Amino acid sequence: MDPEPLKVLAGELPSDVRQILYRHPAEAPAVLREAFGEYAAAAEARIDAAPRVTSSLHATIGEVETPQCLHEIVHGDCFEWLQQRAQDSIHAIVTDPPYGLKEYTSVEKGKLRRGRGGVWRIPPTFDGCTRRPLPRFTVLTEEDKLALKDFFARWALRAYRVLVPGGHVFIATNPLVSHYVYMALIDAGFEKRGEIIRLVQTLRGGDRPKNAHREFGGITVMPRSGWEPWGLFRKPCEGRVQDNLRKWKAGGLRRISQDQPFCDVIRSAPTRGIEREIAPHPSLKPQAFMRQVVRASLPLGEGIVLDPFMGGGSTIAAATAVGYQSIGIESDREFYEIAVAAVPRLAALAPNGDGNGSSWLSRSARDSEQPALFGQ
Ligand SMILES: C[S@@+](CC[C@H](N)C(=O)[O-])C[C@H]1O[C@@H](n2cnc3c(N)ncnc32)[C@H](O)[C@@H]1O
């Protein structure tokens, strides 16, 4: 690998980040992708034209034949959609909502698409490559916090109504704001069932005090983040879990295999370049991780998975890949169009061939049905 571009970039970075890049050249590209990515506006995306609705009934994923037309993709506001949806008609929600809340307003998305910054941190263009902007979550005012609490309180009540008893919610968050989201879900009636820890190396945190980094060279203001929390919640079951499973097909989580339960720590690499190219959304989650979470969300593999904040469609693609029915809602037309084109192509991607998340499964599980789906 040519180390020169990294050295140039290293000149722009804090010294501890620089050291990581020098000491771990093999991992550096993946870490940089997670931090800066390759986001480009949809108009500029280098994507082959993909059919909006696939006419083929099956796609080959590794050696697994998976039906493709299992999903419904809606352009709209999920609050309105949830309000109109029948009660007790969704079996699981897997979602990654907006957090700064500001970052997905039309004003901020306009700035993002024009490369003007705003709440989005636009990294400098380096070596001719465009890197992925990141929203800034660190500075939330009291007003922002109130808005966040109110947003999730209203959302949680609507989500609760449409989920069947025993239905689970997997909700991506971050350590700075997770408590607001979790309390809103609990106040709406959900039981907290745990947290899934996505172990992923990022460049968030780990900085010395701004403009005083020489004076306080031994200080980090916030820990360098190496994980992403996903809250796990459940609408209470009607009676015993087994009765609820029989009646509603929900209440538990699908095991990885007969001898391996679903685990709450999942090693995950940053989203691969090929996935970002297919679905150029600034917050796209990796298929290798999403397929594991989505698969666990329907204990019997029956029912409907909903992603009300669909973005580029990673949840819906994962559901299609594991053979589940799903519905995705996206309020932004450009992201909606990206998802319509991307979902069949992401779902049909072969398992990761680059070692993404390769070591978390036991030998027995690797020998079972998982490898073809998750790339182990
Ligand atoms: C963090 S992103 C989701 C990214 C997604 N997990 C992926 O892998 O591409 C959140 C998405 O929610 C959308 N959104 C925000 N408010 C919404 C609403 N009220 N209804 C539907 N979608 C909304 C945003 O436009 C954004 O694309």
Question: CA-to-CA distance for 316 and 73, rounded, in angstroms?
Answer: 8
Q: Is 95 in the pocket of ligand 1 (CB under 6 A)?
A: no
Contact of 259 with 368, CB cutoff 8 Å: no
- Whether 312 lines ligand 1, by a CB cut-off of 6 Å, is yes
Atom of ligand 1 nearest to the CA of 281: 9
Tokens of 231: 């809250």
**287 ligand 1 Cβ < 6 A:** no
Give, for all 376 residues of the chain, the pLDDT tens digit: 444 444 434 444 444 444 444 444 444 444 444 444 333 323 232 222 232 333 233 333 344 444 457 999 999 999 999 999 999 999 999 999 998 656 566 666 676 666 665 655 555 444 444 445 555 555 678 888 899 999 999 999 999 999 999 999 999 999 989 999 999 999 999 999 999 999 998 777 888 998 999 999 999 999 999 999 999 999 999 999 999 999 999 999 999 999 999 999 999 999 999 999 999 999 999 999 999 999 999 999 999 999 999 999 999 999 999 999 999 999 999 999 999 999 999 999 986 644 333 333 333 344 344 444 454 3
Residue 22 lies in a domain: no
User: Based on the number of CB atoms within 10 Å of its own CB, is 345 exposed (0-12), middle (13-18) or buried (19 or more)?
Assistant: buried
Q: What radius of gyration, in Å, describes the C-alpha atoms of the chain?
A: 21
Tokens coding 145: 């916090």
**Distance in Å, CA 308 to ligand 1 centroid:** 7
Tokens of 53: 């609705």
- Distance between CA 306 and CA 93 in Å, rounded? 5
- Based on the structure, what is the number of domains in the chain? 1
Q: Is residue 13 part of a domain?
A: no
Asked if the structure places residue 227 within a domain, the reply is yes
Quick check: is 7 in a domain?
Answer: no
Find the 247 Cα to ligand 1 centroid distance in Å: 32
127/57 Cα distance (integer angstroms) = 43
Please state, in angstroms and rounded to a whole number, the distance separating the CA atoms of residues 64 and 193: 31
Helix H or strand E encompassing 107: helix 106-114
Task: Please identify which residue in the block is written with the tokens 């929600």.
Answer: 93
Q: Which domain holds residue 98?
A: 58-122+139-374
**Burial class of 96 by CB neighbour count within 10 A (0 to 12, 13 to 18, 19+):** buried
Partners of residue 306 on adjacent β-strands = 93, 327
- CA-based nearest residue to 299, from 248, 334, 338: 248
CA of 362 to the centre of ligand 1 (A): 34
Angle between helices 287-297 and 314-321 (to 10 degrees): 70
The pTM for the full model equals 0.76
Classified as helix, coil or strand, 273 is helix
What is the C-alpha to C-alpha distance for residues 233 and 192, in angstroms, rounded to an integer? 5
Is the Cβ–Cβ distance between 200 and 125 less than 8 Å? no
Which residue has the least CA distance to atom 4 on ligand 1?
Answer: 311
Q: What is the CATH number of the domain that holds 86?
A: 3.40.50.150
Q: Is residue 191 part of a domain?
A: yes
**Contacts (Cβ under 8 Å, ≥6 apart) of 210:** none
Residue 51 covered by a domain: no
Residue 66 domain-assigned (yes or no)? yes
Cα distance between residue 61 and residue 321, in whole Å: 7
**85 domain residue, yes or no:** yes
